Amino acid sequence: MIESMSAYRIREYGEPILRKQCVPVGSVGLREKEIFDRIARTMYEAQGIGLAACQVGIGRQLMVVDVGGGLIKLANPLIMLREDESAIEEGCLSIPGVTIKVKRAMRVLVQGLNEEGRRTKIEGEGLLAHALQHEVDHLSGILIIDYASSQEKDSFQSELRELEEKARLK
Ligand code: ZN
């Protein structure tokens, strides 16, 4: 039990799974609940506000978010509504040392399955909206660096190269 609840290793830029399309879960059962709990634990230990399953090496559509208002666990998330726009400086646990101002919808409505396997809807605004969209992006292999201008890309080229080098040695 203690073993199953330990944190996962966070995958970093350069590891192929971060660029894969994640597979929807058929249902949310015991195995998925355990993954939710371990992803959440991994996120909290790393002091993040969101984490997707692919970031811990699991290519399935499971994600957690907590921007301070409580833990949200979502399987097979779909963004149903996007409203307005806001730009927030975002970081990513998979790309340490890099932050990018990302323009996203300011408000979103996300549909998915909760921990009980029931269909649920989450409304998010501001930071929560950004975190939800950031994690949904992960499930399609999209990273914050994909939103960077070529100028921004130049500025963190050395960080990315270092991470790629590290990934090659894993
Ligand atoms: Zn991320």
Question: Looking at residue 122, which CATH number applies to its domain?
Answer: 3.90.45.10
pTM, rounded to two decimals:
0.95
Distance 13 CA to ligand 1 centre (A): 10
Q: Which residues are catalytic?
A: 135
Residue 170 placed within a domain: no
The domain of 103 spans 2-161
| C-alpha–C-alpha distance, residues 36 and 145, integer Å | 26
pLDDT for residue 4: 55
What is the chain's length? 170
Q: What percent of the chain has pLDDT over 90?
A: 95
Task: Give pLDDT tens digits for 58-67.
Answer: 999 999 999 9
HSE (CB half, 13 Å, CA atoms) of 24? Answer: 8
| C-alpha–C-alpha distance, residues 34 and 13, integer Å | 25
Residue 89 placed within a domain: yes
Residue 169 placed within a domain: no
Distance 147 CA to ligand 1 centre (A): 13
Residues with Cβ within 8 Å of residue 113, at least 6 apart in sequence: 25, 27, 28, 74, 75, 76, 119, 120
Distance 52 CA to ligand 1 centre (A): 8
Residue 62 placed within a domain: yes
Residue 99 placed within a domain: yes
Distance 91 CA to ligand 1 centre (A): 7
pLDDT for residue 1: 44
Total domain count, the chain: 1
pLDDT per 10-residue tile (average), the chain, 170 residues: 73 97 97 96 97 98 97 98 97 96 98 97 98 98 96 93 92
Cβ distance 104 to 136 under 8 Å?
no
Residue 9 placed within a domain: yes
SS3 59: coil
Residue 166 placed within a domain: no
Residues in the 5 Å CB sphere of ion ligand 1: 92
Residue 68 placed within a domain: yes
Residues with Cβ within 8 Å of residue 162, at least 6 apart in sequence: none
